A and B are shown apart, each in its own frame.
Chain A
Amino acid sequence: MVNPILLIAVPLGLGFIIPLLGLIWEKPTRYVPAAAMVFNLAASLLLLPKVLQRPWVVETAGLPPPFSIHLVAGPLGVGLSLLIALVGLLVAIYAIGYVREGPVAKYHSLYLFLLTGATGMVLTADLFNLFVFFEILCISSYALVAYHGDRAGTESSAKYLIQGAIGSSLVLIGIGFVYGLFGTLSMADIARNIDSVSPMKLFLPMAFLITGFGVEAAVLPLNAWLPDAHSSAPSSISAILSGIAIKAGLYAVARVLFTIYGADTIALLVLVIGILTLLVGEMSAFSQNNIKRLLAYSSIGQIGLIVFALGLASALGVQGALFLVVSHALAKSLLFLSVGYMIYRTGSMEISSLYGMGRRMPVSALCFTIGAFSLVGLPPFIGFPAKFTVIMAALERADPLFTALVGVVLVGTVVEGAYFFRIVQGLHFRPPPESATPARADQEEAPVSALVPICLLAALIVAVGVYPSVLTHYLGPAARDLLDKAAYIHHVLGP
């Protein structure tokens, strides 16, 4: 059986090897991230049935928890690492052809470290270790946002760096307080002893932790960096930032809230923040003319919806949130990837310059349409069962307040539909702008290395949309993994 630590150790080791390989022969470096993710995908698939029965607590250095760092490979951790490996693999395949200029070996190394950081975050059960992997994720994404070395990229990377660094410092201070209070860093151990400390003393460390991780998760007041960073990064990096990096931040927030803290007391606050994030994100997306900025703001809106679902703090609510995490990861990376070559061909990110692309790049445009419809939540795609689960969870509360909030969520969806339909209509039914270069049939469509991941993502979106039960089977245990604090403590520390 594969030890879950290999999910971290193998990509980490390969990440160190890439620069070495780059010194000797640069060409094969671009295949290494894909190879590492194939391993992670296979290992996660092998582990999943086993951890569904019982989470696997992995010790390091041969010492039992809580004294050394330990990982908990539960349904949630392995499920998310599977998602990371899947999206990471597809984006890595896309990047083989897409990233041609600049320090290519360094790009692939940083990209692999980014994925390693995300995988480590979802698997670890140690608060400080969570921070370390969080830093690996953040620092590699700062550098990758500025990969092109142009003015916009560097500026937005600096913005991201400053806000991210403040967030990380807050997390570190928060961990310092928590360690001072409990004398331990194991999340299960802290959770077990959380009641022995007065809530007043806990307020500040928890606020620091949630605010710090919240910067990466891009919840409402902390997301000023996101539209710039996601829009000026290379498209493959935008895809991974929107698809994976935000989710990792969100996972950290959820872990702290549910497992350590027990979220019941501030669930309503989370709910309100989620709704506000949703509305602000969708409204801002509506008024964008730049396609990548629009997609970035739409990510904020979707994050708001996920936070709203988490704030319901019920089994069905968390299940819906996880469903949305999967659906958004697939759909948003599909959108960024398919739009990547359209921008490359037209040389502009303006929506109006993409008009008529349906004829010039039919496959990319079709897949973009599938991703957009899925995000809006139209039936045969994965977005529909995901949003439906969230709305069911909210209505389950049978409270007029929640019914009203569902109304607000639906308004957000209508706004979302409005701007996505506008783009889709432009892609397929509007004539190309006059300035567009005359079509040369041989090189219009994206290359095969880009079409394979795009089509696979689209196929997955349709497949899960038609048979949601393949996913919901795993989402229930994963949601319990997050919500059931007592079981988590029991698994790690024993009775």
Chain B
Amino acid sequence: MRKALSLVVLLVLALGLASALRGPSIGAEANRGELLDDQKVNFGRRYNSRAVEETGASNVVASVLVTYRGLDTLGEVTVLFVAALGLAVLLHTGRDRKSGKEAEAPSLIVFTGCRFVFPLILLFGAYIFVHGHLTPGGGFQGGAVVASGFLLIYLGCRGRQPDRQRLNAVESLSGVAFVVIGLIGLAVGGSFLLNFLPKGSPYALLSAGIIPVVYVFIGFKVGCELGGIVADLSGARR
């Protein structure tokens, strides 16, 4: 009975999948011509043609992420924050589990190598999120690179840990800053996450208004969050 039922469900799903994928399914609205008002529908075409002019960011992805779908990005940042917080709650058992044996100290070569590479990784991460509005990349990617630096510290320089409380503070502050930027837009122009700073000339580092500012905060936040997750999972508690 159960097998027959699951077979039927699978069959229906397969039929649905087949019919959904038959013919063009991505970008299909372009082929329906008269039925759709070209000016009103199709986000992609509009963003590609107008984004630089409307937001001042030469990287269209950045303008979509921070301007057109800024509220989603704020939400995604929150999702990550909630996930990191939830992990910390799960790992908080009240008692510190001290493992019996101390971790073996890393060799001098590994230790020195890590100390040499770590600032470079941070620099590269910062470069990626600072230039998010100009080149591919952005806050999330830059933050992930920064966090990989923390991971390297954990792997290569045992005994040295980033200060957990400072990570948490930066994480929360960046989140608050993102919301505050949105609220300033609301106060200045009556619209949440409005790009209230001057747009400048495209392709310049100081352009695109709030986009680089928001990206810097996202970069800090994601870097500290993922770094904190690494620290949580490695059992370091400060």
* A and B are partners in one complex rather than unrelated chains: yes
Q: Which residues of A contact B (CB under 8 A)?
A: 3, 5-6, 9, 12-13, 15-20, 23, 58-63, 66-69, 101-103, 106-107, 109-110, 113, 116, 120, 126, 128-129, 132-133, 135-136, 139-140, 142-144, 146-147, 149, 154, 157, 177, 180-185, 189, 193, 196-197, 200-201, 203-205, 207, 493
Quick check: A182 and B41 within 8 Å, CB to CB? yes
A102 to B92, CA, bound (A): 7
Quick check: A16 and B81 within 8 Å, CB to CB? yes
Contacts of B190 in A (CB 8 A): 3
A133 to B76, CA, bound (A): 9
Q: Tell me the interface secondary structure of chain A in the complex.
A: helix
Q: Which residues of B contact A (CB under 8 A)?
A: 13, 16-17, 19-20, 22-23, 25-30, 32, 35-36, 40-46, 54, 67-72, 74-76, 78-79, 81-83, 85-90, 92-94, 165, 168-169, 171-173, 175-176, 179-180, 182-183, 185-186, 189-195
Quick check: A140 and B82 within 8 Å, CB to CB? yes
Quick check: B43 and A146 within 8 Å, CB to CB? no
Quick check: B78 and A136 within 8 Å, CB to CB? yes
16 A-B contacts, Cβ less than 8 Å apart? Answer: A3-B192, A5-B192, A16-B175, A69-B70, A120-B75, A136-B82, A147-B89, A149-B90, A181-B25, A182-B41, A183-B30, A183-B36, A183-B41, A183-B45, A201-B23, A201-B25
Residue of B74, B87, B173 with most chain A CB atoms under a 10 A cut-off: B74
Quick check: B72 and A103 within 8 Å, CB to CB? no
Query: In the complex, how many angstroms separate the beta carbon of B16 from the nearest chain A beta carbon?
Result: 4
Quick check: B42 and A184 within 8 Å, CB to CB? yes
A16 to B17, CA, bound (A): 41
Quick check: B67 and A23 within 8 Å, CB to CB? no
Query: In the complex, how many angstroms separate the beta carbon of B29 from the nearest chain A beta carbon?
Result: 4
Query: In the complex, how many angstroms separate the beta carbon of B77 from the nearest chain A beta carbon?
Result: 9
Closest 7 CB pairs of A and B: A143-B86, A16-B175, A132-B75, A204-B16, A180-B26, A13-B179, A204-B20
A140 to B82, CA, bound (A): 6
Contacts of A23 in B (CB 8 A): 165, 168-169
Identify which of A69, A110, A146 contacts B85 (C-beta below 8 A): A110
Contacts of B22 in A (CB 8 A): 201
Q: Tell me the interface secondary structure of chain B in the complex.
A: helix
A181 to B25, CA, bound (A): 6
A62 to B16, CA, bound (A): 39
Quick check: A183 and B25 within 8 Å, CB to CB? no
Quick check: B71 and A183 within 8 Å, CB to CB? no
Quick check: B42 and A183 within 8 Å, CB to CB? yes
A200 to B15, CA, bound (A): 9
Quick check: B67 and A68 within 8 Å, CB to CB? yes
A68 to B71, CA, bound (A): 9
Quick check: A12 and B179 within 8 Å, CB to CB? yes
Q: A63-B68, A183-B30, A196-B36 are in contact. Are A201 and B20 (CB under 8 A)?
A: yes
Identify which of A16, A67, A129 contacts B179 (C-beta below 8 A): A16
Q: A140-B82, A140-B86, A180-B28 are in contact. Are A61 and B191 (CB under 8 A)?
A: yes
Quick check: B70 and A60 within 8 Å, CB to CB? yes
A353 to B204, CA, bound (A): 71
Query: In the complex, how many angstroms separate the beta carbon of A322 from the nearest chain B beta carbon?
Result: 26
Quick check: A59 and B89 within 8 Å, CB to CB? no
Q: A3-B186, A205-B20 are in contact. Are A19 and B76 (CB under 8 A)?
A: no
Contacts of B29 in A (CB 8 A): 181-184, 193, 196
Residue of A128, A183, A205 with most chain B CB atoms under a 10 A cut-off: A183
Contacts of A193 in B (CB 8 A): 29, 35-36, 41
Contacts of B87 in A (CB 8 A): 143
Identify which of A67, A126, A139, A196 contacts B82 (C-beta below 8 A): A139
Query: In the complex, how many angstroms separate the beta carbon of B75 from the nearest chain A beta carbon?
Result: 3
Contacts of B26 in A (CB 8 A): 180
Contacts of B79 in A (CB 8 A): 132, 135-136, 139
Contacts of B171 in A (CB 8 A): 19
A480 to B52, CA, bound (A): 40
Quick check: B16 and A207 within 8 Å, CB to CB? yes
Q: Across the interface, name the chain A residue whose C-beta is closest to B172.
A: A20
A266 to B19, CA, bound (A): 19
A201 to B31, CA, bound (A): 15
Q: A5-B186, A183-B30 are in contact. Are A149 and B92 (CB under 8 A)?
A: yes
Contacts of A180 in B (CB 8 A): 25-28
Quick check: A61 and B67 within 8 Å, CB to CB? yes
